[in-house]
Structure 1
Amino acid sequence: MPGPDKNRSVHGRGRSGRLRLLGSPPALLAMEAAVAFAAALVLPYLAHRFKLNPLDRIAQVSGLAAIQFRFALLGLLCIAAVLLAARFRHGRHFDLVTRFAAAAVVGLASGFVAAGAVVALLGTPWPMFGLNGDSGRIVEWAHAVANGQPSGSPVYPPGPLYTLGYYAEWFRGGNTAYAFKDLQILGAAAFGPLTYLAWRMLLSPVRALAFGVAPAFTLIDAYKPYSQTVLAVLIPTLVAMVVALRRSGNQRWPLLLAVGGGFGVLLGLMFLTYSGWFLWSAAGVLLAALLYFPWRTGRLKGLGHLAAALAGFLVVAGGYLHVMLVEGQNTKDTNFRFDNYTDPAYYLMWRTDMPGKNVGDWPPLGEYGGVGLFAVVTFVCLGLVLWLGFRRPLPVTIVAMFVSAWLMRMYIASHMYSTQTVQLYTRTNNQLLYCGMVVCALTVHLVTKRLAERHAAAPADTDPAALFGRVGRTGAVTGALVGLLLLLGTVSSSMADRYMPAQDGTYRVLPWVSHTVRKLDGSCPKFAPNHTCSAEGDQSWLSYIR
């Protein structure tokens, strides 16, 4: 009998090896990331081809509707792919397609907000706010650091400045102003995928989308997207680090040190990008670390994990940390804003330092002792999530960071009169709201897991199909994706509308100013009001600052 075909055998083993490699968790996660980032660029690209006047309100509404239509259509195609995967080959590829569909929905959602920024800035090369305010300072400082000079503020996070400076050198001929417009759009688009990937360290795809990304969309911002992105990514990263610390007592040393060092490097990069959230979160994370430190099973390994994380952090951000500890002591924020004159216990909405012309009573009067039902639900869920997940590091760490930010907020505000400084304490609004939304989502997460565990046939861990017990995997995933698609589409439209150009005393004035700044060639932007512009642009925004 003839012997085996050695060439075919070797070729078969090679093909099988490649398939196993593509099916490995790191490869699948990399493909998820690629799908999410690619999907985030689709809507901004399509919006770039719109033909409309962004200063006309009817055009703005039409632009938002056009983005919404494309978002819904592409999202429904993703859901259709999930349904087809459930029917063909006995659902063999259902989990894989679900994974990619969730990533695509995330990318499309943040791409929606980025597409709104594209529409708002059609016809002008300038970023939001032109060369005024924070935008102008960032553009100036980035140009300085790109040319080897110190920035105007040693305590300002260097990450955005160097990123903008080098991006401008590579793609915009050194023009940091025009480059900042690109990064505002790209930063908004990247918000969803980065947040999703951070929550994927803790949750399965659909649960990461529902219980992590959806709450984070209260933060998405196209003006300075990096600060809010750091918060959205930092919260799950710190939780994942606490989870890894809890498990470190049973880990092998090489893996333990690699994981700890990786967390340290990641935290260092975020610290270089925006450091404020670290201050608000520090006490809560310290408490969680003490609670879940492996005191009995491996104290030495726990210390090794923390030492590796600290070493990774210091290698990346040690220099900037030293600057913050030295120079930061002398940095005082004496700019009192609208929110500094309101009830410090109210955090559910932030009206910014340009609250608009018709604010009315603020905070709005709620139904329960002046407190709205949303706040009541949040605090009820905070109690429930501790009850249902008291031994789990995910809910406990989130609650600890909420309490930490709350205490820091009240501490700084209580000294506001004596020091006449505000130290950006109202920025804790964002962390409190985000953590509160996550707490509400985690309550649903824990309840559904408890229900699933009561059914012998239900998956035991974090399978997204366990959402509704025995109703069925296809129905559970499809229902979740449809609901989340509509929710994220509506939220993204609202957040995109927030920056449609207008002179109404709100942040809409930022892109309005961009259309009134004279271009570098001396001409006006295409849609400049009355075809007039100036070197600094419309300065009426100064009357809106309170």
Structure 2
Amino acid sequence: MLIALGFTWLCMRIEVNPLTRTGQVSGLAGLQFRFLLVFVALALVWWGISKRLSRPLALRLACCSLAGLATGLYAGGIAVALTGTSWPLNGPYGDSGQLQNWVGEIQAGRPISGVYPPLFPHALTYWTELFNPGQPHAALKTFGLVLLALTGPAAYLAWRLVLPPLWSLGIGVVSVFPIVHAAKPYVDIVLIVLIPVLAKLMSTLRRAGELKTRPAVLLGLSYGLGLALLFLWYSGWFVWSAPGALAAFVLMLINLGKEGGPAALRRGALLLGVTGAVFLALTGPYLGRMLAGADTPDGYFYFDTDIDPAYFLMWQGDQPNNLAKVSWPLPGELGGVGVFALLLVAGVAVALWLGPRLPVVQVAGLCMLGAFGLRYWFASHMERDKLVQLYPRTSAELLYCSIVLCGMAGYLLTQKMTGRPAYAIIGGRKGPAPALRASGAVLCALAFFFSMAGSATVDRFMPFNGSWGQLAWNSHTTVQPNGVCPRFAPEGKCVPPPPPPPPAAEEG
């Protein structure tokens, strides 16, 4: 975490005009230069610890540090894109503006949306009062950068529940760049954390027959609390994951009864019962409001509702820019399917072949299948009902689960070639530390990927009047709350922000 936040702070010292292309390129180069220097320093420290203290300890520290450095680069790049403005991405517009308005509502003691997950708006309110009193826009900017920077460490630590260090880094942090959107990082991190947490719960359930009553209850309390916090932070991924996750746990209980007998089944039921009871106790009021609003119509048709519903590899949302004028998705070489999709298909096949009993493979595979089912159900009724019901958001879950299965395919192939057991089959996360040369090569390759992926992702958010760059453009071309235009507003001109909505009516 220190590496992530420290590198973000280091990147905030870059002084360029992000509204010119020359300034953007200089800023991207400045990010890469700092990334290179910090990585070399970390590599030297890792090498020294490996030689003089402990190779496993050095590997864990190196992986955790590189996870922070990867998303520190992402957050630092967004900070460069917002140089000279106090607004967050998208300024006072869209979801950004709504969150800022909710801060005022919460501070005034008025209710906010009953169906939106409550934890983040209240956390943002607390952050505002603590660090940016009276400036929810500045609070959202800084809090968003902090959350974006910490996404890598959070993903890495979540995957360390079920996998060794290098594989946790490769699967967890690699997936951040195609999945996590800088304007709403608090949303997508829940998806990245949820899958390994469910897989860990599945692993614990598999060995439920070995647990005594007290440990089973304590574990249930821990899992219930963790899942409740994720749900209250952002509940959408629970909706799309629900069919697959429920199927995975039902199958696990059936196998538990067959393999462990009635005693194991009772322990498993106790574990899941306590988990569910704690989850419902903490989320019950919000869950009730969310279910009551489940039939709220969503008729917002945009770019991604017009493309082939079987395509999910790149979600453009409602900001396609010039893509709206070309054939999208681009036609692939084999039956319209491109190389990246073929790699995902191959990875899924290998994971299902070599690891069908692994909790990670079962959770990711069944969640992917369930998300496809919900996606096609809503899309198939779109013309009749004139509703979207958010189905394009399943693209992120489908892509993430595909990446997870590809990563697990690589893990299982490696274990098979080296003759080692797949530790994740029983939920283990430890294994023999790779040789110094092998782990060093993998770390260097991952750092190379993170530098390129981070730069490419940040470049998409650089201020531009269109596409994803529109978000930062709005931040630079809107009058700030202090009445002054942002420092790099084109020709010093900017537009006034939209008027705030009227206060919400008091409930009751």
Give the TM-score category using the shorter length.
over 0.9
Give the share of equivalent positions with the same residue, in percent: 38
Summarize the alignment of residues 436-515 of structure 1 with structure 2, pairs less than 5 Å apart.
436-453=402-419, 473-503=435-465, 505-515=466-476
Q: Are 1:150 and 2:111 matched, yes or no?
A: yes
Corresponding residue to 1:524 among 467, 485, 490: 485
Q: Which runs of 5+ in 2 are unaligned?
A: 499-508
TM-score by length of 1: 0.86
Larger Rg: 1
Corresponding residue to 1:337 among 302, 306, 321: 302
Residue identity matched to 2:314: M
Q: Are 1:357 and 2:345 matched, yes or no?
A: no
- Verify the 8 A CA contact 2:162 2:429 in the aligned structure 1: no
Q: Name which of structure 1's ranges 517-526 and 224-233 shifts more when overlaid on structure 2.
A: 517-526
Distance in 1 (CA, whole Å) between partners of 2:381 and 2:209 is 42
Summarize the alignment of residues 67-216 of structure 1 with structure 2, pairs less than 5 Å apart.
67-88=31-52, 92-151=53-112, 153-216=113-176
Q: Are 1:321 and 2:321 matched, yes or no?
A: no
- Verify the 8 A CA contact 1:260 1:306 in the aligned structure 2: yes
Question: CA offsets per residue over residues 16-54 of structure 1, 9 Å max, x none?
Answer: xxxxxxxxxxxxxxxxxxxxx101112221122222111
Partner of 1:470: none
- Verify the 8 A CA contact 1:146 1:162 in the aligned structure 2: no
- Verify the 8 A CA contact 2:160 2:168 in the aligned structure 1: yes
Partner of 2:501: none
Using the TM superposition, give the Cα deviation of residue 463 of structure 1 relative to its aligned residue in structure 2, in angstroms.
5.4
Q: Are 1:417 and 2:383 matched, yes or no?
A: yes
Using the TM superposition, give the Cα deviation of residue 86 of structure 1 relative to its aligned residue in structure 2, in angstroms.
3.3
Using the TM superposition, give the Cα deviation of residue 279 of structure 1 relative to its aligned residue in structure 2, in angstroms.
1.2
Using the TM superposition, give the Cα deviation of residue 462 of structure 1 relative to its aligned residue in structure 2, in angstroms.
5.7
Summarize the alignment of residues 263-412 of structure 1 with structure 2, pairs less than 5 Å apart.
263-293=223-253, 294-296=256-258, 297=260, 298-329=264-295, 331-359=296-324, 360-412=326-378
Using the TM superposition, give the Cα deviation of residue 524 of structure 1 relative to its aligned residue in structure 2, in angstroms.
1.4
Distance in 1 (CA, whole Å) between partners of 2:417 and 2:229 is 39
- Verify the 8 A CA contact 1:211 1:438 in the aligned structure 2: yes
Residue identity matched to 1:78: L
Using the TM superposition, give the Cα deviation of residue 211 of structure 1 relative to its aligned residue in structure 2, in angstroms.
2.6
Residue identity matched to 1:476: A
Using the TM superposition, give the Cα deviation of residue 304 of structure 1 relative to its aligned residue in structure 2, in angstroms.
0.7
Using the TM superposition, give the Cα deviation of residue 142 of structure 1 relative to its aligned residue in structure 2, in angstroms.
2.5
The one of the two structures with greater contact order (alpha-carbon pairs below 8 A, sep at least 6) is 2
Summarize the alignment of residues 424-443 of structure 1 with structure 2, pairs less than 5 Å apart.
424-443=390-409
Partner of 1:57: 21
Distance in 1 (CA, whole Å) between partners of 2:420 and 2:115 is 53
Question: CA offsets per residue over residues 341-389 of structure 1, 9 Å max, x none?
Answer: 1100000111220101254111110011111122122122212111101
Q: Which runs of 5+ in 1 are unaligned?
A: 1-36, 468-472, 538-546
The alignment partner of 1:287 has SS state of helix
Using the TM superposition, give the Cα deviation of residue 328 of structure 1 relative to its aligned residue in structure 2, in angstroms.
2.4
- Verify the 8 A CA contact 1:206 1:464 in the aligned structure 2: no
Q: Name which of structure 1's ranges 358-367 and 441-450 shifts more when overlaid on structure 2.
A: 358-367
- Verify the 8 A CA contact 1:187 1:222 in the aligned structure 2: no
TM-score by length of 2: 0.92
